[in-house]
A and B are shown apart, each in its own frame.
Chain A
Amino acid sequence: MKRLLIGLSLGLAVVAPASANSLVTAGPRPHIAESRFSASPTDEWNRLSRKDGKNVEIWTRDGDQLNKVTFFGGIPSGKPLVREIDKKHQPLPKVAADMLITDIPVLLESTYRIQYAVTQMEVDSQEPATLSGHKAIRFTYRFAREDDGVRRRGEAIGAFVDGQLYLVTYEAPALYFFDKDVEKYRKLAATLAL
């Protein structure tokens, strides 16, 4: 019994780092969000162990309530952006093969309203961009969740590549935090490749 316990705890000790938050060091980083996404951050980030979906990865500097970069890596047609918490009563909108590029902010907004109790959200600006050579949309938005009522701002870039959605968002409280780290996000976003 004792040996079994020791074995188990050793096993857990080995497994633990894989399921814990981890440091993202500067330098090339392939297969972000278990996808073709790669980036070369020039400074350090923290990768959260939390998984909002199979192809979703979250990076932060000070915690995801204060600054949060989310990678949605290659969400295929017929799948929602994040894993549904209540498929029956709160089904999320799905990516569709025939979506226009302007449907990306709409999809994000609808997902947020349903999944994260965001009850106010405005998409402010939308402009054409390129993501690793693919036609993309860059947009900015503001939102507030019902639970904490904090005004947050967001900036994102998204594209459909081979029928799959690639999207990166940066979000932080509008007060102080958004401006503090937005340039770091932009530097990171400039290194994105597919």
Chain B
Amino acid sequence: MRALSRLALCGAAASLAMLGTTPPTRAAEPGLELPAYSHAYEPRTVDERGVWMEADEAERGLRDSPLRIREAGLEAYLREVLCREVGADRCAGVRIYAMEIPGFNASMMANGTMQVWSGLLLRSRSEAELAAVLGHEFAHFELRHSLTGFQQRRRATDAIAWIGLWGALANSDTSFTQNIIARGIYRYGREQETDADLLGLRYAASSGYPASTPAEVWKNLMAEEDASAAGRNQKSKQKYTAGYFDSHPTALNRSIYLAEAAAKMPAGGDARAREYRAAMAPYLPRFLAAQIKRNDFGGTEHILQSIAAASGWSPDLLFARAELYRTRGNPRDLQVAAQYYREARAAGYAGPELDRNLGLALLRNGQAEEGRQSLNAYLAAAPEAGDAKMIRALVAN
């Protein structure tokens, strides 16, 4: 199976080499060579045309989705980051869609459609971290993984079906052989991920972003998973070896091999954390609000701490922290929340919702008089708010 998958990859690479491609314009250093790249690539085979047709259809849905973040500037900025990571010539054929989905993910389809989820934007602490994930996804695209993955799955499932039929005719149990083949599907997926990781690292190393960043991304994600588990009184379980049916290598494994490979590459330069913070500032409150509603106290606190460690506790971060504690809602949390609301105000948070939420925290904690004062301040600042009638009724009772 492994030999088969290698063959498929070599085949894909060979077919790319025959397409009259332009030589790479960057990455001349040994060890950083990138695959040849062609502009306006058109699918060649019936399989590839099928994969592209499905991708085109999915892209239409994505383009018109209400979940797309349409504010001017965000998708353009993401493109800038991708272009800096993989080079201007390569990124020219990509369409990027920013989607409001709080998970940590980005993905790319065979036809050059990339989607980036808000959860990834929230968790990244610098352009380099975001670029590491975008570069990894671009590597899947460049290596034609959608196509080879599809072909490998079809081969394997065909084989499973035929062997099953043969077993039924011969009245013998073929489940062991079928299992071995099925396992190959997942192992093939993991091999693709590793290939994309290592090519992504080569992009990172030749982009000017630090080569050590891709490994950091996985370390930070593991830290969040651990914090999340601890917040739910569960054991953390980072593993080195992927399970039987895992489609990806484990985060621990990835962070280690990426760090080892990065150590052999040029160190790179600025991670552009300041530029990233500035670009994300308009979206941060919205992304944080969505994260807080996921009922993951430990994970969310980790995200807040990790952003604050890089940029300090901004008014938005303090407000979000207050919201996180108020949402958990134990008496001690309500007390801490009130304190963070006040710190957010002292730091310059000016939105009227601060008074409302502070008031609600105090009211729920039995501090009725203080709570009413805050709610009245909210009503004075936002008398026409959608919830003003309800808040007025709360104050009156």
Contact A109 B387 (CB under 8 A): no
Which stretch in A51-59, A68-76, A125-133 binds the other chain?
A125-133
Most buried by A among B65, B329, B360: B329
Contact B294 A149 (CB under 8 A): no
CA distance A101 to B389 in the complex (A): 13
Residues from chain A with Cβ under 8 Å of B66 in the complex: 120, 144, 149, 151
**A100 with B364, Cβ < 8 A, contacts A91-B232, A128-B393 known:** yes
Contact A100 B363 (CB under 8 A): yes
**A128 with B364, Cβ < 8 A, contacts A119-B290, A120-B100 known:** no
Contact B390 A119 (CB under 8 A): no
Q: Does B35 contact A (CB under 8 A)?
A: no
Residues from chain A with Cβ under 8 Å of B65 in the complex: 149
Contact A114 B295 (CB under 8 A): yes
Q: Does A98 contact B (CB under 8 A)?
A: yes
B218-244: contact bitstring with A at CB < 8 Å (1 yes, 0 no)?
000000000000001010000000000
Q: Does B30 contact A (CB under 8 A)?
A: no
Residues from chain B with Cβ under 8 Å of A93 in the complex: 295, 327
- Interface residues in A96-140 by Cβ distance below 8 A to B read 96, 98-103, 106, 109-110, 113-114, 119-120, 123-128, 135, 137, 139
Please tell me the number of chain B residues within 8 Å of chain A, measured between CB atoms. Answer: 26
Q: Does B310 contact A (CB under 8 A)?
A: no
- Interface residues in A125-183 by Cβ distance below 8 A to B read 125-128, 135, 137, 139, 144, 146, 149, 151
Contact B102 A126 (CB under 8 A): no
Contact A106 B67 (CB under 8 A): no
Distance (Å) between the CB of B238 and the closest chain A CB? 15
Q: Does A189 contact B (CB under 8 A)?
A: no
Contact B293 A100 (CB under 8 A): no
In the complex, which residue of chain B has the Cβ closest to the Cβ of A150? B66
In the complex, which residue of chain A has the Cβ closest to the Cβ of B295? A93
Residues from chain A with Cβ under 8 Å of B294 in the complex: 110, 113-114
- Interface residues in B363-397 by Cβ distance below 8 A to A read 363-364, 386-387, 389-391, 393-394, 397
Residues from chain B with Cβ under 8 Å of A144 in the complex: 66-67
Q: Does B20 contact A (CB under 8 A)?
A: no
Distance (Å) between the CB of B44 and the closest chain A CB? 32
Distance (Å) between the CB of B347 and the closest chain A CB? 24
Contact B389 A120 (CB under 8 A): no
- Interface residues in B234-292 by Cβ distance below 8 A to A read 234, 290
CA distance A103 to B326 in the complex (A): 11
Q: Does B23 contact A (CB under 8 A)?
A: no
Contact B389 A96 (CB under 8 A): no
Contact B386 A100 (CB under 8 A): no
Q: Does B51 contact A (CB under 8 A)?
A: no
Q: Does A2 contact B (CB under 8 A)?
A: no
CA distance A100 to B365 in the complex (A): 10
**A-B CB proximity, top 5 nearest:** A128-B393, A126-B387, A126-B390, A127-B389, A110-B293
A interface list, Cβ under 8 A from B: 88, 91-93, 96, 98-103, 106, 109-110, 113-114, 119-120, 123-128, 135, 137, 139, 144, 146, 149, 151
Known: A113-B290, A119-B290, A128-B389. 14 other contacts (CB 8 A): A88-B232, A88-B234, A93-B295, A96-B329, A100-B363, A101-B390, A102-B360, A106-B327, A119-B101, A120-B67, A126-B386, A137-B390, A144-B66, A149-B67
B interface list, Cβ under 8 A from A: 61, 65-67, 100-102, 232, 234, 290, 293-295, 327, 329, 360, 363-364, 386-387, 389-391, 393-394, 397
> What are 10 A-B contacts defined by CB distance under 8 Å?
A91-B232, A91-B295, A92-B295, A101-B390, A119-B102, A124-B386, A126-B387, A126-B389, A127-B389, A128-B393
